[in-house]
Structure 1
Amino acid sequence: MRPAEALLEILRSEGVTRIFGNPGTTELPLLEALGDATDLTYVLGLHEGPVVAMADGYARATRRPAFVNLHIAAGVANGLIGMLNARRSRTPMVITAGQQDRRHLLQDPMLGGDVAAIGAAGVKTAMEVRHAYDLPLVMRRAFAEAVRPPAGPVLVVIPMDVLEEDGAVTVPDRSPVPVHGRAPASEVGRAAALLAAARRPVIVAGDGIGRAAANGELVEVAERLGSTVFQQPMFDGVNFPGTHPLNEGMLAPRNTVVREALAPHDVLLLAGCQGFNPHHYTPGLPVPDGLAIVQVDADPADIGRHFPIDVGLVGDVGVNLRAVVAALGEQPPEAKARLERAAQATRDRVAALDRQARAAYGDAPLDPLAAAHAIATGLPADAVVVEEAITVGVKLRSVLRQDRPGSYVHTVGAGLGWGIGAAVGTSLADRSRPVVAVLGDGSAMFGLQGLWTAARHRLPVLFLVMNNGEYRTLKDTMDERKRTGVYTGLDLGPPGLDWLAAAELFGLEGRRVQDAGGLHALVAGAADLGGPLLVEVPVTAHGR
């Protein structure tokens, strides 16, 4: 078969049904081949940034590698922020990018450039196809590399003339990719002994738990130990049930805060967490002196990478945690007592936060905590929250009580403009679940073009734009640095952003929230949406 047809055949065999892209001239051979491929859907985006974010959301929801097609050097540059996010969040995807016809590359053609070099910083591996007969093997390697721990994006550059070469191309069979063996690590016994001897154990649940679908295994370990459980800073998903009494919430992304939270404990189980991803610099390590550490991770490069540990378990996270449970044996009385104390403390903390949030309910502009609470309590039972709201997002995390894996989606990569596209991809993967995207007004502006794709496919996504008219997180940081006064370049008005006009531009219905009760009702109705709805939520800079 011809090279472009061989490419499509490989996609089919790898389980791809959707191609996310924004095409140019170098993609014309692919588009021509797609004309006869009724089983493959081309999902068009108006900008490469949202396109890569769509693939990110789609891959996470389907738990399969997504496929993206970008146009040449400029397209890869535009999509680079999405690749960086996917790499940090370990989202598997294969990205192909066109290249100019090699027969005139020495003439510096328009849009030509070193495409692989441009994209290399944002992917696990970047490679270029030199001959048509190499295309099938390179693509097989790319899909295998995308899922091999640590998972992530892989870039394949394909010159236009390669897809148009004459002659038949042979497609090799797909080989299974051995991600992990099913045997636990050899140090499980030592790890269990260290944990069992703990008097004040603590667990940090990382995103490796959610990626491995090992939430149930971690719950068993936590209950067997009666251990406090924190989620890693700025976590990407539900790694521990939000309603579980041992859930202490999220650690803040600062070494001093993490160290203070861990200081009362004697043994730490670092589960699927490669590190604490600090945001602002604070001196010292995030772990206190004298804390014994057991680390479990799929990637051997992450074991002991950021600070010394006592025991490292490499391999399938769920398999290793099940082995730890078996080695721990029955729950000791002191663990049961710790669990009971934690349950009461959790009930008291949740009730106090609930009272505080409800007391702040009122008319727009809304108190940020009240807005977050109205969203969290209004969510339909099977909703997926896609969050890129920065300041309001932190408050949302404190009031969300989600238990179902996959019901919360974020990117620890923190490259702005991800949220709208990720919500589109999440909805494309499963239209049966309502998707509620909680977006900061500043971050939404980086990926606004993704709204058009939502409208084109009539996706039932509720886009909530938390509009405070400023880059609030930067102002807060300036205040912390004791350099207050003039906030240069941190306001989005005057004039302000007209979000209802933005909705109209891209073909969406738009509304503006008047009070906290109205926001709660809109969120509760997300399951009944027949298409996308953009809602502006005016919020104050600070709480009331």
Structure 2
Amino acid sequence: MNARSAKQAMMEQLLAEGVRYVFGNPGTTEQPFIDLLQDYPQIEFILALQESVAVGMADAYARVTGRPAFVELHAAPGLGNAMGLLYNVWKGGTPLVVYAGQQDSRALLQEPLLAGDLVGLARPFTKWAVEVTHGADVPFALRRAFKVAMDPPRGPVFVSIPMDVLDQPAPGPVIPAGRTLARVGPDPDAVAQAAALLAGAQAPAIVCGDGVAVAGAQAEVARLAELAGAPIFTAVASEVVVDTRHPLFLGAFPVASIPRLREALAHVDVLLVVGAAVFTQLIPEPEPLVPESVRLIHVHLNPWELGKNYRTDVAVLADPKRALAELAAALERTQTPAQRAAAEARATAVAERRRQARAALARELERVRDQAPIAPLRLMQAIAEHLPSGACVYDESVTASEALARCLSVSEPGSYLRARGGGLGLGMPGTVGLKLARPDRPVVGVVADGAAMYTIQALWTAAHHKVPVTWVICNNRSYRILKLNMLQYLGEAAAGRRFVAMDLTEPDLDFARIAASFGVQGERVEHPDQLAPALRRAFAAGVPALVDVVIDGTVP
């Protein structure tokens, strides 16, 4: 009997890890793997026309399922094509196992086409990168890769396998990777110190990041906020960290704007940051952002983030769910009757602040209702109003994202994803990956026009695999985010200056026609009264569909 080959062991290891999909773009050095897929119908290859599309689909799929997704890339050029979105995955902490085929190991010294230092290329943006040199090690390497991807902090790993190694024997056992149980409890002294600070606070605030979503700590955040009388904010959060209908939820903390952030912190005396960095900036300043008057409590499962950039009064290394539960219990024991009454009064004031913000939103919507080009807020209100029941949303609307957040209510984990990492291009493929992870739910991607063009090939993948998603393109005909950043950079010197290479015009991008060329139903909307009918048609289509909405792109 012939010994099992490494490529067969590879397939068996993927099955042992529960892999349902391979997201990839095939190439010559992966031929042993690609050919064998037909013998394993339990695994479906989701074909991307460009490697970034494969990474973007896998990112969303892994984030929603909570399991590593498997990506196949083609040698050095394919890995290079994927690096932009692999950076986003690494920055966001998504568990991926990325495989690329290396040239025949017996001929690497000849420097053949497509060969290169794949491990060196992948290492900066992965948790672990390795090249397997013996067939018997293939299942072992994959097993470790799946484990490392899930170990906290989660992230992508990379495995390079020369094509000749896949044809070598691999007689060893195939067993699933072990999982590290990471419900690490907080230090009791840290909990007591944090509870004392919150109990004595006059103006506390809680800022949450994606670590809350990963830990499933949404209920614990709400409970602690209620006890402390503290508003809940998000900090570059790209998932559901709290029910956005909660009376203490006030939206995003203004971490993207240093002046607004400084203003917000001026009204806080105790700041609790959970599962987020303090604070990630696009254009940082050397001066500290957190003033000396603010007492900072930071809860994170990654010790690297604790005290990394700012003085921290209480650094809590723990799983956010356990830390918040224990902190709430300690706060309840610690609070005096007077402190409890003060917290209740603060909660009432926060709820009133939220009510006023909702009233202001209604007035603003009425003001822009008939504006043309369509106001971003008007578009987002229409999307929120006409979303199918139970719909999941992928958001890469960039400068329109704040408007979407104001209009959209989300409560269920996995029902809302936002592109993260900083680079553009996750939205188009991420919408497809989200649908593959939630096939029972309608899925809508809201994507900015500039971001969409980074991975527009995702349209073909959805059509080819018959993945019924809807994209809504926010078409302001520009890189508006760059214009805003330029205005921030220039300040008063911006007067009289023009924006260089930031307009997507002459010719305009017609996404409805682009969609049709990829086999996707497309429709263009230019006036507000066209919005509702077009959205209803797309949401009810039952096939991949796109609505190209021309929106206002002016800057202040």
TM interval, short-chain normalised: over 0.9
Deviates more, 1:185-194 or 1:72-81: 185-194
Q: 1:406 Cα shift?
A: 2.0
Kept in 1, the 8 Å contact 2:137–2:170? The answer is no
Alignment of 1:519 onto 2:522: no
User: 1:495, 1:64 → 2: CA distance?
Assistant: 42
State the match for 2:520 in structure 1: 508
State the match for 1:357 in structure 2: 365
Deviations 1:429-473 (A, max 9, x none): 112211111111111000001111111222221111111111122
Gaps of 5+ in 2: none
State the match for 1:380 in structure 2: 388
User: 1:327, 1:423 → 2: CA distance?
Assistant: 41
User: 2:234, 2:118 → 1: CA distance?
Assistant: 38
State the match for 2:154 in structure 1: 151
State the match for 1:203 in structure 2: 206
Alignment of 1:262 onto 2:274: no
Deviations 1:393-440 (A, max 9, x none): 232223322222222211321211111111100001112211111111
Q: 1:283 to 1:526 in 2, by over 3 A?
A: farther
Kept in 2, the 8 Å contact 1:427–1:433? The answer is yes
Deviations 1:66-87 (A, max 9, x none): 0001110011011111211111
Counterpart of 1:322 in structure 2: which amino acid? A
User: 2:57, 2:115 → 1: CA distance?
Assistant: 26
Counterpart of 2:507 in structure 1: which amino acid? P
Alignment of 1:491 onto 2:507: no
Kept in 2, the 8 Å contact 1:367–1:543? The answer is no
Alignment of 1:460 onto 2:462: no
User: 1:26, 1:543 → 2: CA distance?
Assistant: 48
How many correspondences in the alignment? 542
Alignment of 1:26 onto 2:29: yes
State the match for 1:273 in structure 2: 276
Alignment of 1:342 onto 2:334: no
Correspondence list, 1:203-242, <5 A:
203-232=206-235, 234-242=236-244
Alignment of 1:108 onto 2:120: no
Q: 1:175 Cα shift?
A: 4.6
Instruction: Classify the secondary structure of the residue corresponding to 1:460.
Output: coil
Q: 1:263 Cα shift?
A: 1.6
Q: 1:54 Cα shift?
A: 0.2
Correspondence list, 1:9-158, <5 A:
9-158=12-161
User: 1:181, 1:384 → 2: CA distance?
Assistant: 28
Deviations 1:105-148 (A, max 9, x none): 11111111111111222212211101111112211111111011
Kept in 2, the 8 Å contact 1:470–1:491? The answer is yes
Q: 1:325 Cα shift?
A: 1.3
Deviates more, 1:39-48 or 1:454-463: 454-463
Counterpart of 2:405 in structure 1: which amino acid? R
Instruction: Classify the secondary structure of the residue corresponding to 1:426.
Output: helix
Alignment of 1:177 onto 2:187: no
Q: 1:523 Cα shift?
A: 4.1
Compute the TM-score of the two structures, normalised by the length of structure 1: 0.96
State the match for 1:294 in structure 2: 297
Kept in 2, the 8 Å contact 1:374–1:516? The answer is no
User: 2:526, 2:30 → 1: CA distance?
Assistant: 46
User: 1:52, 1:84 → 2: CA distance?
Assistant: 10
Kept in 2, the 8 Å contact 1:436–1:526? The answer is no
- Pick from 423, 439, 447: which aligns with 2:447? 439
Alignment RMSD: 1.9
Counterpart of 2:447 in structure 1: which amino acid? L
- Pick from 416, 422, 429: which aligns with 1:408? 416
User: 1:272, 1:33 → 2: CA distance?
Assistant: 41
Compute the TM-score of the two structures, normalised by the length of structure 2: 0.94
Instruction: Classify the secondary structure of the residue corresponding to 1:127.
Output: strand
Deviates more, 1:306-315 or 1:510-519: 510-519
Deviates more, 1:364-373 or 1:440-449: 364-373
Kept in 2, the 8 Å contact 1:258–1:287? The answer is no
Kept in 1, the 8 Å contact 2:216–2:321? The answer is yes
State the match for 2:312 in structure 1: 309
Counterpart of 1:384 in structure 2: which amino acid? C
User: 2:373, 2:406 → 1: CA distance?
Assistant: 20
Q: 1:525 Cα shift?
A: 6.0
Counterpart of 2:282 in structure 1: which amino acid? H
Kept in 2, the 8 Å contact 1:364–1:513? The answer is no
User: 2:226, 2:315 → 1: CA distance?
Assistant: 21
Instruction: Classify the secondary structure of the residue corresponding to 1:216.
Output: helix
Instruction: Classify the secondary structure of the residue corresponding to 1:540.
Output: coil
Deviates more, 1:404-413 or 1:530-539: 404-413
Q: 1:184 Cα shift?
A: 3.7
Alignment of 1:450 onto 2:458: yes
State the match for 1:537 in structure 2: 549
Q: 1:306 to 1:525 in 2, by over 3 A?
A: farther
Kept in 2, the 8 Å contact 1:295–1:313? The answer is yes
Kept in 2, the 8 Å contact 1:73–1:113? The answer is yes
Kept in 2, the 8 Å contact 1:21–1:51? The answer is yes
Kept in 1, the 8 Å contact 2:135–2:166? The answer is yes
User: 1:101, 1:414 → 2: CA distance?
Assistant: 36
Instruction: Classify the secondary structure of the residue corresponding to 1:458.
Output: coil
Instruction: Classify the secondary structure of the residue corresponding to 1:329.
Output: helix
Deviates more, 1:507-516 or 1:329-338: 329-338
Counterpart of 1:105 in structure 2: which amino acid? L
User: 2:116, 2:144 → 1: CA distance?
Assistant: 24
Q: 1:101 to 1:382 in 2, by over 3 A?
A: same
Instruction: Classify the secondary structure of the residue corresponding to 1:35.
Output: helix
User: 1:363, 1:487 → 2: CA distance?
Assistant: 24
User: 1:321, 1:243 → 2: CA distance?
Assistant: 20
Q: 1:543 to 1:470 in 2, by over 3 A?
A: closer
Counterpart of 1:238 in structure 2: which amino acid? V
Correspondence list, 1:380-399, <5 A:
380-399=388-407
Q: 1:522 Cα shift?
A: 4.3
User: 2:346, 2:310 → 1: CA distance?
Assistant: 28
